[in-house]
Every structure is written in C-alpha cells, then in structure tokens.
Amino acid sequence: MHGWDSWIAIGDSFTEGMSDVGAQGHYVGWADRLAETMARQRPGLQYANLALRGKMLQEIIDEQVPIAVAAQPDLVTLCGGGNDIITPGTDVDDVAALFESAVVALRAAGSEVLVFTGPDPKVQPLLRRVRGKVAIYNGHLRAIAERHSARVVDLWSMTVLHDRRSWCDDRLHFSTEGHRRIALRAAEVLGVRVDEDWREPLPSEERKPWLRLRQDDLNWTTTHLLPWVRRQLMGESLGDGLQPKRPELQPYRAEDDRTASV
C-alpha cells in the first residue's frame, strides 16, 4: 500500500487529460487513471485536479500553485512550461527559473513534489522543431528536482512514447494509450503497485504507404495546425472560459464517465 493520503495535480492539458476521452466525452488522462489506482489501494484518498488546457507556466503559478500551497497535500504533481517552450521567442532559462519558484513554494509548504520532463518530440513534425529547447528544459528540470528533493518522471526516456500511436491526431497531446503508459510510469516513481509494465512494447504495426502519410499530414495541417497558429496569433487559449474538472480536494470516487484504471 502506498503512503499518499492527499494529492493535488496541477498543470496544463497534459495533466487535464487531453486527448484521453472517457465514455461520456470527458477527458480522463494519466492523473485520473493513477488516482483511481491509488484510491483502490488507499480508500479515502483526497484528490484534486486543477490542470487546464492551454495554460502558460505563469498562469499555473498564479492560479494553481497558491491553492496547492494553502491545502498542503501530501503530494503535488507539477507539469508545466510546455506551452511556453513551443511559443517562438521564449527563453528556456527563464521558463526554468519560473518552474523552480513553483517547486520551492510547494516544497516549503511541506508537500512532496513529482515533476515530469518533456517527452522526446522527434516523431512529431511540429514539436520536433523545438526538440533542442525541450532537451535543455529537461536538463533544468532534473537539476531543479535534485536541488529540492523532488521526484521525476522521465518522459523523454520512455521509448513507448516514440511510437506515433502514443499520440493523438493533433500531434500535440497523448492518446489514451500514451496516458495509460504515463500513469504506469508515474505509479512506479511513486511506489504505487500496478500489475502492468509501461515498458511493454506496442504491437507491431504495418507501415502506411507514403501517399497515405502525406494525406494524413494534409488533414492534420488543416484540422489542427492552422487553428493552432490562429490561436497563437490571436492570443487565445483552448482553456479560455473553462474551469478545472476537480477543483477541490475530495475523497476520490470512480466515475464511469471520466475514469479508467491504469
């Protein structure tokens, strides 16, 4: 049995659960999946998920970190900065300094902190353009974790995430399978018992013909890339007007329309 009685998850779309869609259309994601597993082993687990899609790191620090600091849960999971990194002109060192300020505040409040490195984006045509920035940011994150005794889930080293099937159609967010594997990896780092291994290779897949791949690229450009560029230019966010799905620490209860075990 793990030793966690309360957990607040903070961050952006990664922790909210895009694009792991549940039975009733709600996003599930690695955090809700892991929370269900943890609650089965420790009934009464208090859980909140404050993450919202599109949030920049400063917004996470301003809007979510103070709630976690005030609540002083046993555990806080923090992943942020990805939206900053992919924004042109952003200085990685500045983003890392902001991230460290959040870790310092959470550790000072007495919470254990679990952070996530960025995944290796080499399989995705948009994200691989910032692969170098992600690698530098990851170096900062590992150093921050070491300085402040935080735990680290190393997404970069997860080879299963190098498979396109671990990503959803927008090529920015993880698929249901990607979220499931990440939940298993986070459980391992936290010492939560699970019955599956995140390292298990995905089944072999027949390679698509070149023409089909180009058609997929065209569909992705019109359906996802161009709208993303427009939002960047207009200063809009997918999270505008939305509220966190689990805004307060409450005993976790499995809800069929949102959750699924890891």
259 vs 42, more confident: 42
Alpha helices in the chain (DSSP H): 13-16, 29-41, 57-63, 65-71, 82-85, 92-108, 131-147, 176-190, 210-220, 226-234
Q: Which of 213, 215, 235, 234 is nearest to 223 (CA)?
A: 215
User: Looking at the predicted structure, is the pLDDT value of residue 71 above 80?
Assistant: yes
Three-class secondary structure of residue 38 per DSSP: helix
Q: What is the pLDDT of residue 142?
A: 98
- For residue 194, what are its two tokens? 């699970």
User: Looking at the predicted structure, is the pLDDT value of residue 156 above 90?
Assistant: yes
> Which residues face 79 on adjacent strands?
11
Give the C-alpha distances (Å, rounded to integers) separating 245 from 23, 29, 51, 70, 114.
16, 12, 8, 19, 20
In whole angstroms, what is the distance from residue 177 CA to residue 168 CA?
9
Q: What is the pLDDT of residue 87?
A: 87
> Which residues face 41 on adjacent strands?
none
Taking residues 29-44, what's their average pLDDT? 96
In whole angstroms, what is the distance from residue 16 CA to residue 60 CA?
12
Q: Which of 86, 68, 87 is nearest to 11 (CA)?
A: 68
Q: What is the pLDDT of residue 234?
A: 74
* Residue 225's pLDDT band (cuts 50, 70, 90): low
Q: Give the model confidence (pLDDT) of 96-141 as tens digits.
A: 999 999 999 999 999 999 999 999 999 887 778 899 999 999 999 9
- Domains in the chain: ranges and CATH: 6-198 (3.40.50.1110)
C-alpha dihedral sign at 118, 233, 100, 18: negative
State pTM to two decimals. Answer: 0.90
Q: Are 192 and 47 in contact (CB under 8 A)?
A: no
Q: What is the pLDDT of residue 116?
A: 98
Q: Give the model confidence (pLDDT) of 193-224 as tens digits.
A: 999 999 999 988 777 787 776 777 777 677 76
User: Looking at the predicted structure, is the pLDDT value of residue 147 above 80?
Assistant: yes
Q: Are 239 and 54 in contact (CB under 8 A)?
A: yes
Average pLDDT of the chain, as a whole number: 90
Q: Are 179 and 160 in contact (CB under 8 A)?
A: no
Taking residues 45-65, what's their average pLDDT? 97
In whole angstroms, what is the distance from residue 172 CA to residue 258 CA?
21
Taking residues 65-88, what's their average pLDDT? 96
